[in-house]
């Protein structure tokens, strides 16, 4: 798609936005993605949507409803389980359309982050980073997604809390991000940590 001012660039800030987008695209392309293969786990994908608003880069999250089977009430990225016959990228885009009314045509995928797993629900999660235009006619579907949450990247970079824990018998570092009275944790926080580390390095280059 390229960086089309009518879709992605905020008025008067197109250079800044395109520069950010290009740096992220290059950083994602340079890295060696870590893929997890485990026949005992289910394949899934999420979209990490980023956009420019009021002079800042934002990330979009969702809050899951209490109606869903897994991860009730948790902060997450739009996404879900892969269906037969579709790629993981198609999964992320389809789920984003279903959960928050985000048209696949409005998403420019920049690349992938490392796979991660969900401990309780037994999924392998493949995260895709994509830019979207803003404003956008988004709406929580009310079944899987209860709320759409916007968080500035700058605020998230300053909100991390690390804890040493044990998962499946192994010591791990768990990440917790605090924003707007909410806590982002679990697989979503691990994906967010990956992205923020990459973002910070890319913006310094």
pLDDT at residue 164, as a whole number: 87
- Which residues 6+ apart lie within 8 Å of 144 measured at CB? 64, 65, 67, 68, 80, 98, 99
Residues in a beta bridge with 48: 129
Q: Is residue 137 part of a domain?
A: yes
pLDDT at residue 101, as a whole number: 98
Domains held by the chain: number? 1
Average pLDDT score over residue span 60-84: 92
Q: Is residue 105 part of a domain?
A: yes
pLDDT at residue 15, as a whole number: 62
Rounded to whole angstroms, how far apart are CA atoms 199 and 110?
A: 12
Q: Is residue 7 part of a domain?
A: no
Tokens of 71: 């991860």
pLDDT at residue 7, as a whole number: 55
pLDDT tens per residue, range 32-47: 999 999 989 999 999 9
Average pLDDT score over residue span 95-108: 97
Q: Is residue 130 part of a domain?
A: yes
Question: Greater confidence, 8 or 65?
Answer: 65
Percent of the chain whose predicted confidence (pLDDT) is above 70: 93
Question: Greater confidence, 5 or 52?
Answer: 52
pLDDT of 73 higher than 90: no
Determine how many CB atoms are found less than 10 A away from the CB of residue 152: 16
Question: Greater confidence, 42 or 13?
Answer: 42
Question: pLDDT tier at 6 (50, 70, 90 boundaries)?
Answer: very low
Q: Phi and psi of 56, rounded to 5°? A: -135, 155
Percent of the chain whose predicted confidence (pLDDT) is above 90: 74
Collapsing DSSP to helix, strand or coil, 145 comes out as: strand
Q: Is residue 6 part of a domain?
A: no
Q: Is 48 exposed, middle or buried (0-12, 13-18, 19+ CB in 10 A)?
A: buried
Rounded to whole angstroms, how far apart are CA atoms 80 and 107?
A: 17
Q: Is residue 169 part of a domain?
A: yes
Spatial contact of 30 and 202, defined as CB atoms under 8 Å apart: no
Domain that holds residue 70: 14-204
pLDDT of 110 higher than 80: yes
Mean of the per-residue pLDDT values of the chain: 91
Residues in a beta bridge with 46: 79, 127
Which CATH number is 82's domain given? 3.90.79.10
Collapsing DSSP to helix, strand or coil, 57 comes out as: strand
Q: Is residue 29 part of a domain?
A: yes
Q: Is residue 9 part of a domain?
A: no
């Amino acid at each position: 798609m390229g960086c089309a001012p009518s879709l992605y660039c905020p008025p008067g800030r197109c250079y800044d936005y395109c520069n950010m987008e290009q740096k992220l695209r290059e950083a994602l392309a340079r890295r060696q993605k870590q893929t997890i293969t485990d026949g005992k786990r289910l394949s899934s994908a999420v979209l990490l949507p980023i956009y420019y608003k009021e002079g800042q880069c934002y990330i979009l999250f969702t809050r899951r409803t209490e109606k869903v089977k897994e991860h009730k009430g948790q902060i997450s990225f739009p996404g879900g389980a892969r269906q037969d016959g579709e790629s993981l990228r198609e999964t992320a885009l389809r789920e984003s359309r279903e959960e928050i009314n985000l048209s696949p045509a409005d998403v420019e995928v920049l690349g992938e982050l490392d796979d991660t797993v969900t401990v309780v629900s037994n999924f392998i999660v493949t995260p895709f980073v994509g830019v979207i235009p803003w404003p956008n006619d988004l709406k929580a579907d009310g079944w899987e997604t209860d709320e759409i949450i916007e968080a500035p990247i700058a605020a998230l970079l300053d909100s991390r809390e690390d804890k040493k824990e044990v998962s499946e018998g192994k010591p791990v570092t768990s990440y917790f991000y605090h924003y707007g009275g909410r806590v982002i944790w679990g697989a979503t926080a691990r994906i967010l940590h990956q992205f923020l580390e990459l973002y910070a390095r890319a913006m310094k280059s």
